[in-house]
Structure 1
Amino acid sequence: MATMKSVKTGAKNEIDVVDVERPTPGPRDALVRIRACGICGTDTFFLHLGGTPVGADGSIRSLPLGHEPAGEIVEVGAEVSELKVGDRVVVNPQGVPCGIIGCGGAHGAMSEYLLIEEAQVGRNLAVFPDHVPFDVAALNEPMAVARHCVNRSEAGTGDKVVVFGAGPIGLGATIWLKLRGVEHVVVVDIIPERLRTALAVGADAVVNSAEENVTERLTELHGQAANALGQPRAGTDIYIDAAGASAVFQAAVDSAKWGAKMVMVAVQKKSDAIDLGGMLRSELTLIASQGYPTEIFEVTAELAEHYERFAQLISHRVPFADVEQAFSLAMTPGAAEKVVVTF
């Protein structure tokens, strides 16, 4: 029996690297040799739990990790006509019948090989050009999340936008906003290194909210407007929350002009410190953004075209032999921005 290495949740805040049987594709399946896989906040969430809850009693089971893969086809079933051995591919984790890859499904992409059942280009796989490094291609899934957020915002060329949170999703949203021609994009964070990256990928300005008053800076950058009561507010049209902190939400409420929009893409931490009543004073429209209903492969061609720009989002490239170090980096606040494991 051929085996492979695979990563799954272990004890709380730990991973297990295990030997499992290497999958054998059926007639409609494809086998992908993983060459790079990103680590996401969802992965670290499962690690904090020690797995995923199952059943009414809330018991925890271990699960295979990894849902941001890029790799190459090494075997295809007899009935697969759109793919060939050697194709470089990215994967839709939600497009397979055995459950979401790396998020409770039977398979995880933080493995040497990944079985794609019912393999179909455009549904669960997309081919990308040879000139794109595998580590950058592995950003396809999170950049689809960022793209959906921008799509939900309906930002146009004349809009003035602020993005809170210069992690991978916030920076990805910044890139997509600028690629669609949005006039002015500000990025807000408290970590100077992240703000430098924001400028490098195209942000027009940055604000360190630990040192500066966000509302005052946005007014300087986007001009002065008013809320529904005529009170002075920043001229920002769209707020994107890629941070998930109550202080961010409140900063948007405090700054919003009449008719502004706020797109919430970050997972929100529960808090009683948010004045929802303040939204009335601006008629602030709150828009939630979850996942990528259509965007998972819509982004692939542009990601390939602008791969050098997206490459700047990766702070650490760690070989699979050191995968425990990679997860340690990802779980340590402030230690890394985007960690990609290479194979």
Structure 2
Amino acid sequence: MSSTQKMLMKGNEALAEAAIQAGCHHFFGYPITPQTEVAAYMAKKMPKIGGTYMQAESEIAAINMVYGAASAGVRAMTSSSSPGISLKSEGISYLAGSDLPCLIVNVQRGSPGLGGIQPSQADYWQATRAPGHGDLHVLVFAPSSIQEMVDMVFDAFDLADCYRMPAMILADGMLGQMMEPISFPEKQVKTYDKSGWSTSGHQHKRAHHIVNSLYLQPEELEAKILERFQRYEEVKAKHTRCEEYLMEDAEYVVVAYGATSRIVRSSVNSAREKGIKVGLIRPLTLWPYPYAPIEKAAERGAKAFLSVEMSMGQMVDDVRIAVNGRAPVSFFGRTGGVIPTPAEVLSEIEKMAGGDR
């Protein structure tokens, strides 16, 4: 595919093509709605480029196949939807504990349990707080369009390799199933030297490399975790991302991410037409989370904040942390696969603004 040519693609398929163009030739997955097209696209394309496509017998097997491929130093990925990501959580912890880079895609659906197949953002806590057991983080990217999802795939692989940690694209069924015109970035695939740790064969020229997350001496394990968290601090300092919209004079602030932020942007525009000085802060990374712009808005006197999500309220906790009691923080959400409407969000903005118009 030409990098400059605009083409109409479904989100799941664009994501898969982006991964291939980013140098991922090893995919391991298991079908689940609404992300099955990612695996289907990989199944068609990987044999044509000499890559590996493997439909595992389960999500647990798939994430452990990623572990094996990543150990050998290749770019590897898996994709799933909410219940499947839960099954992968042990493997995600092993990947983080072994300092292995990879890409994990979650096209979220309504939950808990099997839930439904409609869009959701109810996996925020899982992605940002506990993608696996133990002291760990994974990079979490939150696209709001298919083009952004494509671009973030490239960034996710690069940062995962650079910092030797798993990365996650946290999308949802809306982004996975919709179609938009997109183009693929014109950029060379970055290569990172993995010869110092990968199990890619030593030909008797060096000591064996052992990829492992087991440390029986507590002091050794603690030292390993502390070193990992030093890298996490560098990630926070260099790669925390967000977008600010109409924030220059905003007296009220809405915080939203992903597909929901598209709805919120429309509502913010409508509120501006009614004379309400409201702006939008949209996190592009959920870990690391962009606390600073929210803190700045609170410090300069924003009167109130509203978190809008497709959940019962999860990111709102991070908004409250950032605001730190300087202003009221409210929440509006729909859940179970119900998508909030622009009219509903506008009504919540008007409530937040009260009679101040």
User: Shorter-chain TM-score: which interval?
Assistant: under 0.3
| TM-score, normalization by structure 1 | 0.28
Structure in which a larger fraction of residues adopt strand: 1
| TM-score, normalization by structure 2 | 0.27
Structure in which a larger fraction of residues adopt helix: 2
